[in-house]
Structures are given as C-alpha cells and as structure tokens.
Structure 1
C-alpha cells in the first residue's frame, strides 16, 4: 500500500510539474530558422562535457501576443522541445525569471528505492567557485538572466564568463551532462542556398582527393566565369546542394562559408547524443586547424581544377573560434576536378594488395583469413568507370571458379549467397565485408586457405571487361604452430583476476608448458 500511495503521489507531482513546462508554441509571431551561437559546456561523447561553443544551432523564437519573448530549446545542445519565457522589463530588456521547468527525463531512481524514475529538470542561474567543476544555484533575488532584443537579435547579458551559467538543475544540483551556457546570441540567418541560373550550361566533373582516390561524377553548371558544383560532399543530406567557384584568369576561387543547409551530427557519423540541428557550411582551411578566407584552384589547359588548400564541411560558420571536430567533418585535401566526357571502355585497373593474413581463435578452433586490398573505379588508362556496373570475384587456392559466400557462414549478409561482390558492397555491420574509403576487407572462415586471387569486373552494354588478377599467398604462422592438446591453460585479466574461460577484451593466457600470451576477444 505504501508503494502504491507513493507512486500515486509521485505521479501527481510529476504531472503538476510537467504542466509548467511550455510545450505548445506560444501565441504570437513565430520567427524560425534563426542562427544561434553560444559559449557553453559542450557535449563530448555521451556523458562528458568540455568548455567550448555551439555555433550555428538552428533556433526559433516567438514574439508573444502577451509582450513576452519565448526561446525554443533554451539550453544549447539540449533538445528539450520546450519554450522558455522572457518578460519585458521597464528598461526594454527581456528577463528570464528562473527557475523555469524545461524538461522531464527518466533518469531518477528505481522501484527498489521507492522513487519515481521521472524527474523534472529546471533551468537555473548557477555560480561556480572552482572554474566550472561544480555549480550551485544563486540566491532567489539573483535568479534571472537578462537579454537585449535589437534588430531581430537576441543577446544574453550579465554573465560572459563560465563562473556563472544558466544550467539544468534537479533538486538544486547541476545536471552536468546537460551542460550550460554563459553567453548566447540568436540572430537571423544571413546566408541562402546557392542556386545556379537556369540559363547556365550543364557539364560534369570527376572528383578525386587525398581521402577519395576513387573518382566519382558531380554535376556542374557554368555561367560566365562562375562554376557551380552539385554533390561535392558525399553525405546524402548534402547531395543536392551547390557551391560556387569564380574564374579569375588561370585560377578559380571559392569563397569560404558557403551555405549548405541544415544537418544533424548523425548525418556525418552513426551515433551521437547531440540531436540538435545545425546550419552547415562549405569552408576553406589552410590545414586541419587553421581557417582560410578562400579556396583557390589552379586551372590547366584541359580545364582540370586543382585545389591548393582543404575543403571541409563546418557546423556553423568556420572561424578561429569555431573549428568543427574531425568526426563531424567531410574533408577534401588535394581536391581535383577533371572535366568528364565518356571515353572508350578498357579493362578495369587491377586491385592493389594491402595484406592477407590468417589467425587462429583463442581456442584454436577457427581460422580467420583477412584479405585487404585497394580498389579504384577506373580503367587501366585512368578513365572513370561507373561503380554501379562493377563487381569483383575472389578465387581460392587456384580454383577456376569464383568463391561463393553464403549467409550460413557470413551471417551479416542480407543475401543468401553471393559470388559477384558489388564494388561498394558492405554487410550490415561493415564487418565481414568492410569498406574504409577505397579499401576493401573480406574475411574467410575456411581452414586451409593458402592463396587468394581477386579480379575486378566491369559490365556495360552486354560486354564484360576484367582486370588482371591480384594474387597473394596467405601470410600465417599457423603451419609452424605446435599445439600440445594435453597442455592446460589459465585465463587472467590484465589486473590479475582469474576466470574459467577468456573474457571480452584483453586476456593473459598462461599455459602449463610455461608460455604466456596475450589474446584480445572482441
């Protein structure tokens, strides 16, 4: 009964608190697609934070019919889906009177503690005496943050240093993983997507770079001295946006910070705890850590353009204060744009071997052979080949028949079996068939593989064109390994704890014959 009464009370309190969170769009003038920047505790990974800035957050506000201003997702980097109210003051500023509830999460206690798991998070003005290691709420008389509103620009006032922030709080304790802001500006977006004129002349280029040696085709349009390029960035979110170069004699110049539209961090990586939307730009860089004002391309007699710096995507406009981390970046160094025209087809270029090796599992029951090689979708003359029309075959131990991969052995395949491996094929986990840029990795689990051969194939117009084979012997120490089946083994972690069998991670295996080895179990 006690547990039931407690749960009912917790539910009532939760509903009461949640009702204070402004979820519905307030009545008034909605201004969307704004550009937001802030100095903040920025999310790092799933739970950590670091001092930095959010730049280019897509934001919106409401100029309320009640004379107030409302900010959506008031805490930078937190997708609270709530509005914060700013009340107009006699001096013309707008004041966020705190605390205000902004979020309900489920990170509270569990049933064993007889606590509700649902918490109401409030926004508080908080102060730190140790440079941001910890914060506590200010007194009630100082628990507010003022803003100015001029020329459609909302600017936070009265803090500016990380010793004071507005941050997420529960039971008057700072919720570190939600971060906090000590400076903020919300303003109109000044840039627009680039669109070539309808009268521009269509053409195509092939694109290569240090990061992408395999060429791909991008669309282009030319209008006088202006060259417009579409699909330069491989992210599907950016596939249909344009950037502009302008010819200046024997060179072409791209001005930095050309607007690409709105993206999420997950458009550039698989997972991320930051669900915010960002205004995204094409930016010029001298190197990975130094911004540039423009990207210059030399133009040779054939019309080929070669960049002298680095082209990158940037979340928010790039500047010395805002250099997007590598994991959210599409970067192109040594970028080359070559005018494309259909050429007579020749045989595909032969793949290049990286390595081919075999290893035994920890219990000697499975042999895994890994074949790693580089591929380019070009023919022997360096001309572009459509990767959608390419595949490769693998031959084992000198067989004249290509090897057939079967789902019964390669469980991450979607197909039941496959002999012709498409040029850009990878399995569901990018595991047994793995792609990293222009490198391919293929695993085999058959014992006794001694040699492997790969042939690249291009099919077009009913004709088949095959590369010269890439052949290799399997490098292994297995043949020279002696294993005494009467030998016993003991398994230890790196800190000396003993287990009955190997665990995930690094294991120390001590054999009764006196040998010790390290084995990693994935």
Structure 2
C-alpha cells in the first residue's frame, strides 16, 4: 500500500488544534495526495499551492539537529540540475503506527527518480519514502566507492490549503518501546549518535544500508524530530527497462464495451481493442493510461491473458502499472477460527470467447495493479464482459433523486457537499462513452460555474464537468458515488443534469433537484440508488478504518442502497 490515510493521520500532521479538527472532518484536504498532485502535473492543472512555495519565495527553514546546532536548508521542490534517471522501480518495507496500532507495510512498483548533479558527487532522490508521498527531493553526497551519504534532517513536505499547512522533515530514527493503557507499542525518536543514512549504488540498483525494522527507520517527523507515524526501514531502487505491451498497429483499433463489477458496483466503459491473428489487445484497463495495453491469446473458444504484463507508467499514481489476474481463495485462519477470503496475484485469467458474437466474458477477477510483486489494485474488474460497441447519439439517464443528498455550506467545515449516483447507461441499457459524458450542477435556476480560483485543481472555467474527472479533493468518485464539494450559500435547491456528446449530437437529461436547506450532514453518507452499492469501507481487526487495505487481514463493510450492511473478512497478500 502506498499510503495509509485516516482522519487521525491528517489530524496528527495538522499545524494547530483548529486545523486538526478540520482534518478529522475532511482529511483529504491536508495530506499530500499523490493522485491529485501527479494529475495536476500531467494535465497542466494548477495545484492549490505549489509544493515548497514558502521555500521558493526565499524563506529558509531552521532545522534543529541532534547535536544541538542549527542548520538551515530550503526544501527542494523543483527537479535539481543534472542527469535525470527517471527509470527506477522503487520498493521496500514501511513501518506505520496509528493510535498505537503497528503495521508493517510492504510497498512496490513506485516510480523512482534520481538526479546526478554536474559535479558527479551530489545525488538527489525524489519522493524519498514509500510510506508517504512527496514530490520534493532530498540531497546526498557520493563518498567512498559506491556509497552515498544523506545527512539529515531535511525537509521534504510543505503544503498549504485554505490557510492550513503540512510540514515534515526526514530523520534517521531509532525504535523506542512505549507502554500506554496496559499495551506496549513501538514509536521512534531521532538517533542521537548520527543523522547520516547511507545508500549503496551498485550497477543497476540503489539500496538503503539497513536490514531490519529494529535497527533504523527513515522517518517523517516534525521539525523538532517528533515522529508522525510514517517511515521506511527497507528501500531498494532498481533500474526498470521493460517496454509496455502494445499491438503492432494501433490504428486498427475498434471499440468494445466492457461491463464489470468493482466493490459490488456495476460499471460500463468503452475500450479500444486490436485483433492481430490470434492475439487480442485491450487498451485503457488502467483508466489513467488510455494507451496502455494488455494482451490475450485466443485458442478455440477461450482467450487467455497472462499476468505481469507491463501497461505503462501511471503518472497519476506515480507507479508502474501491470495487468494482473487475481485468485480468490478461502483459507482457514486459526487465530479467529473462521475462513477468510485470500486475494493473491495469479498467473493467468481465461475468458470464454464467442467468435460469432465477438464477445469475451469471465467470472474471475483481474486488476490494473501498482507493480507486479504484490496485490495493490488501482482498478478492479470482477466478472467482466466485453462486447462489440458502436457509437451513436443517446440521451443520458437523469440522476435518481433518491441517490442525491446535500449538506449546505458550513462555516465550521468550510464547504458544502453534494453527493449523487449518476449512470453511464441510457434507458435502453446502452453504454455511453464515459469520455464524452459530462454533468452540470444547478443552484436554483442558475448553472454552477466551476472557477479554477475556487476549485484549485480544475484546469479551466466551465459549467460542464467531465464524468470521469476526480481530483480527490473537490471532486471524488468512489463505489458508484460522486461527491462535489461546494462553496455557495443562500440557495433553496440544488440539481444535477447529465450531458452526452456522442454520435455527433449533444443530448441532455432532465435536471434532478433536491432541497438545499437540509441541515443534516449525516444524510450525505446515507444516499444510494436502490440495487446499487452505496459504499465500501475497510477496517483493521481493531476497528480502525484504512483508506485502502495493505498486506494483511481486513474487515470489508459493504453498505447497499436499501440500508443493508454486510461484512466479510478479506486477506490481502
């Protein structure tokens, strides 16, 4: 898992009690979000505040050293001058502590970047820990032989949003056992003997000189060296030179629709497909890489797709994307005395192929994965079916009012929140091309203008929001629900209209309105469409919620539209 974001984690790194209160309410505002930042870079979106902008304006940060002296160094938020090595595959082991809950979390498949300065001595490392995303760089120096020494502390996080800030420094830490409420857990403090960590750059790999969690931790701290709960104790950068899978002639692509389930919610999308002999290629299974392909081979009435297929660099999640089949197995857990579902990467997945209809279908699961060494899905496909698809003009379905809820703007929270469940199908079940589907929000009778000054990551002023757009800040799409954070007051009703620009026509649904004066914030989390999944959450065995499960046993809670709640145990490997 790349991150372990919780409301507690956001509050932990807030700069004041007031900030912590807001963070606990809306943690996505305060944590450096790799998807939003990378998307901003990829699409030339404007970030809320440039990472390290305070340092860029000339301010230097006073960093307290373990020897009692004070050093000053600006955060390095821009790529340093020198030779860029942008082809490293970053993996390792993190150690995370949240409210006394200790988690050993492997990470894999992260995009690693290194710069060698013109002096051939200075080395810069981007996004220096796997436990927490930052687009900043830290500096090291070549010493004897293959060794690189990095003198800490160095600041590698500075972000601001709506008057709130996040700052963090990288320290070399040592473990300390702490007892609290009768339980013993591990925390870390700065190593008083040395604040220098070493790497060895030998041939095609760069390895942190460390072996176990109990020795040293490269950790995220306050300026004074107080540990935030994130850190790495194993790191390895390996040169990655694989080329993405691709057909010989992409211009021969046709379009097929794919219907599938993710977290119990049914989705429909349109993908490009190329057939070359018995080989069939599907593009865009990682939605962040529309030109990334996966290859299958047809034999008779079956089509087999092997695992470990490299689809390309996913700049949204800053990781290497792979096509990976998934195996579902029930295994006995002696500690809890029950069977649990185990999800592991499989060697291959087989589809049923109907040559007459030109369809592919499977009851199994495959994912667009981060890396190829462990299960870490970015996009999930359960029970997928692919069929030939022809573009035509179509009228999108109006949003069902029963799926909508609105929390009016609150001074306490600093935002309002509209939630709704749109559909990518028309009334006849025809799948709309999601890339040509949009929606508009109405405030009474006026359409809402999306202003980049208000919605910081949106690239332009518009009244039509792309259906697929999600910045994980003001626009969040998850488990069939769309959430839009609003900053308006004084309205009586709020509405949503769907817009489809396919088949050479622009067609719009009716506007669906609901009241904008409901003062019950809890209503936002309770909306759903009958027959659909309203949301899926994961918690650890102690009941603490995680944004995405890493390696280990977790409880999955699925909330359906009719209020039904189901839980199941899932083992992620």
Select the residue among 271, 280, 283 that pairs with 2:324. Answer: 283
Taking a change above 3 Å as real, the CA distance of residues 62 and 202 of structure 1, as seen in their structure-2 partners, is: closer
Shift of 1:208: 1.6
Q: Which residue of 1 aligns with 2:93?
A: 39
Q: Which residue of 2 aligns with 1:314?
A: 369
**In structure 1, distance between residues paired with 2:421 and 2:218:** 50
Shift of 1:222: 1.4
Q: Which residue of 2 aligns with 1:262?
A: 313
Q: Deviations over 1:175-218 (max 9, x none)?
A: 42384332222212142222210287432111221247453321
Taking a change above 3 Å as real, the CA distance of residues 206 and 196 of structure 1, as seen in their structure-2 partners, is: same
**In structure 2, distance between residues paired with 1:123 and 1:297:** 50
Shift of 1:296: 2.3
Q: Which residue of 2 aligns with 1:83?
A: 139
Q: Say if 2:425 is the partner of 1:377.
A: yes
Taking a change above 3 Å as real, the CA distance of residues 44 and 311 of structure 1, as seen in their structure-2 partners, is: farther
- Output the TM-score relative to the length of structure 2: 0.52
Q: Deviations over 1:47-83 (max 9, x none)?
A: x984312322322446799886946248424544123
Select the residue among 238, 257, 273 that pairs with 1:220. Answer: 273
Select the residue among 299, 315, 326 that pairs with 2:353. Answer: 299
**In structure 2, distance between residues paired with 1:40 and 1:386:** 40
Is the Cα–Cα contact under 8 Å of residues 354 and 374 in structure 1 kept in the other structure? no
Q: Structure 2 matches for 1:164-203, cutoff 5 A? A: 164-168=215-219, 174-177=225-228, 179-198=230-249, 201-203=252-254
Q: Which runs of 5+ in 2 are unaligned?
A: 1-58, 159-164, 179-184, 329-341, 411-415, 519-573
Larger radius of gyration: 1
**In structure 2, distance between residues paired with 1:73 and 1:358:** 40
Q: Which residue of 1 aligns with 2:388?
A: 339
**In structure 2, distance between residues paired with 1:305 and 1:30:** 43
Q: Which residue of 2 aligns with 1:153?
A: 205
**In structure 2, distance between residues paired with 1:310 and 1:106:** 37
Q: Structure 2 matches for 1:455-474, cutoff 5 A? A: none
Secondary structure of the structure 2 residue equivalent to 1:330: strand
Q: Which residue of 2 aligns with 1:52?
A: 105
Q: Structure 2 matches for 1:93-104, cutoff 5 A? A: 94-96=146-148, 100-101=151-152, 103-104=154-155
Is the Cα–Cα contact under 8 Å of residues 167 and 222 in structure 2 kept in the other structure? no
Is the Cα–Cα contact under 8 Å of residues 440 and 448 in structure 2 kept in the other structure? no
**In structure 1, distance between residues paired with 2:60 and 2:420:** 60
Q: Structure 2 matches for 1:347-366, cutoff 5 A? A: 354=402
**In structure 2, distance between residues paired with 1:333 and 1:279:** 22
Secondary structure of the structure 1 residue equivalent to 2:143: strand
Shift of 1:18: 2.9
Is the Cα–Cα contact under 8 Å of residues 98 and 229 in structure 2 kept in the other structure? no
Secondary structure of the structure 2 residue equivalent to 1:335: strand
Q: Structure 2 matches for 1:119-158, cutoff 5 A? A: 123-124=171-172, 126-128=174-176, 132-137=186-191, 139=193, 145=198, 147=200, 149=202, 151-157=203-209
Is the Cα–Cα contact under 8 Å of residues 137 and 172 in structure 1 kept in the other structure? no
Matched pairs, number: 404
Q: Deviations over 1:321-364 (max 9, x none)?
A: xx33x7xx222222221122357x787778767468999999xx
Output the aligned Cα RMSD. 6.1
Taking a change above 3 Å as real, the CA distance of residues 17 and 375 of structure 1, as seen in their structure-2 partners, is: closer
Q: Deviations over 1:457-485 (max 9, x none)?
A: 97888989999x999999xx9xxxxxxxx
Is the Cα–Cα contact under 8 Å of residues 296 and 308 in structure 1 kept in the other structure? no
Q: Which structure carries more relative contact order (alpha carbon 8 Å, separation 6+)?
A: 2
Secondary structure of the structure 1 residue equivalent to 2:187: coil
Q: Structure 2 matches for 1:372-411, cutoff 5 A? A: 375-380=423-428, 382-385=429-432, 404-405=445-446
Q: Say if 2:304 is the partner of 1:253.
A: yes
Shift of 1:106: 9.0
Q: Which runs of 5+ in 1 are unaligned?
A: 1-6, 108-116, 269-276, 363-367, 395-402, 478-522
Taking a change above 3 Å as real, the CA distance of residues 156 and 374 of structure 1, as seen in their structure-2 partners, is: closer
Q: Say if 2:285 is the partner of 1:229.
A: no
Shift of 1:19: 9.0
